[in-house]
Amino acid sequence: MDESGKSQDPEESVRPQPPEPPEQDNTPKGPTPGKKRSGGGILMGRPFGVPVYVAPSWFLVAALITWVFGGQLERVLPELGAARYLVSLFFAVAFYASVLVHELAHTVVALRFKLPVRRIQLQFFGGVSEIEKESETPGREFVLAFVGPLLSLVLAGVFYAGMQLVDPGTVPGVLLAGLMISNLIVAVFNLLPGLPLDGGRMLRALVWKITGRPMSGTIAAAWVGRALAVTVLIGLPLLTHTGALGTARPELGGADSLTDALLAAILAAIIWTGAGNSLRMARLRERLPDLTARTLTRRAVPVETDTPLSEALRRANDAGARALVVVDRQGTPTALVREAAIVGVPDHRRPWVAVGTLAQDLKDGMRVSAELAGEDLLEYLRATPATEYLVIEETGEIYGVLSTADVERAFVSAMARKAA
């Protein structure tokens, strides 16, 4: 009998409960436990063992750069004719090769600090190195962030030196000048002190060093990043109009002003969203240690393979358990009874269905230590995808069954929860 005086369904304790809806749906989508992420574009290679992908949006940017740079070449080198677009396409590819070098700098240092890098992706505005773990110290965080802009500055210097060896009125001279300027812009832009830019990570490291709390650094750098987004949204069109970034435009309005405003809005949205995501993911990382295999595990009862499902569910209910583990006659676990399979068996058939017919054999990687927690737990589940896992004590005894669905709900709940 339950507290309300009604008899409890003996099979209720192992029925799957509907997932609780998250408080909000605008949180960053982290890696789903038990599932492998797709590459997110065209695989171009694996330098240092890290896959490099080109996102579909890159081709849009490459076309835009080709068109804009081609228009500039028409004024500087009109004798090229239509061939100017081939030169412009080469510039677009060379520029993104420079961006790749920038990201590889982050990757090499991350690997040097034993931080796993999932992938590098070249996308709409630049690139990103997906580093799976946080730096252990503020000093390493600062170095990891600084090497990218440093390499871009070095490249700008290399291209500037190359300009001294060629005629500025030639194709090589124009290309070298464009690459020098573009790498200088990449370096300066990334040094701006706001997340998600490299300068924001450097600011985070400095505040972390001063306060001793990485979260304080993240909060400071994220809010500076949001302020930076507003500044870009308002200031970039004004700077362009006043001529601070080039030729002044005496009149507002028209296609040029619309393009400037659109570019500023896109950049501002990227910075604002990235700052917010950085802040939310930092809060998530603070809560990840609370995600432990032990607390998320459903207690289980051992049953032999020929046990009728109705009898197995009765035993689970009596023991206050919510999962079934199939064992042999020596008590060694051999399989897990799948929750989805139980739901698919009608009540009237359960006395005639053996649990062994609903079980999934235990494979390598489906045994999880009850002590796993946080990022270690998520990484383990990601490396060995399954729907359920056998959770065992350090002594080898059965503790229970861990459902991927339960981990996903806890993960989403941790992301959606407001900071205290």
Q: Which CATH superfamily is domain 293-416 in?
A: CBS-domain (3.10.580.10)
pTM for this structure?
Answer: 0.66
155 CB contacts (<8 Å, ≥6 apart)?
Answer: 98, 101, 102, 179, 183
Q: Give the residues of the chain that fall short of pLDDT 70.
A: 1-40, 240-257, 259, 414-420
The span from the CA of 118 to the CA of 188, in Å, is: 26
Give CA angle at 234 (233, 238), nearest 5°: 120
Is 348 annotated among the ligand-binding residues? no
Q: What's the first-to-final CA gap in the chain, in angstroms?
A: 38
What pLDDT, on the 0 to 100 scale, is given for residue 260? 72
Residue 131: strand pairing partners:
117
Domain residue extents for the chain? 39-191, 212-287, 293-416
Is 106 annotated among the ligand-binding residues? yes
Is 364 annotated among the ligand-binding residues? no
pLDDT, tens digit (0-9, with 9 covering 90-100), for 207-244: 999 999 888 899 999 999 999 999 988 887 777 666 55
What pLDDT, on the 0 to 100 scale, is given for residue 126? 80
Catalytic residues: 103
Question: Which residue type is seen at 246?
Answer: G
Closest to 217 in 3D by CA, of 229, 230, 206, 233: 206
What pLDDT, on the 0 to 100 scale, is given for residue 384? 84
The span from the CA of 145 to the CA of 249, in Å, is: 36
What pLDDT, on the 0 to 100 scale, is given for residue 18? 33
> What beta strand segments (E) does 277-344 contain?
298-304, 323-327, 333-337
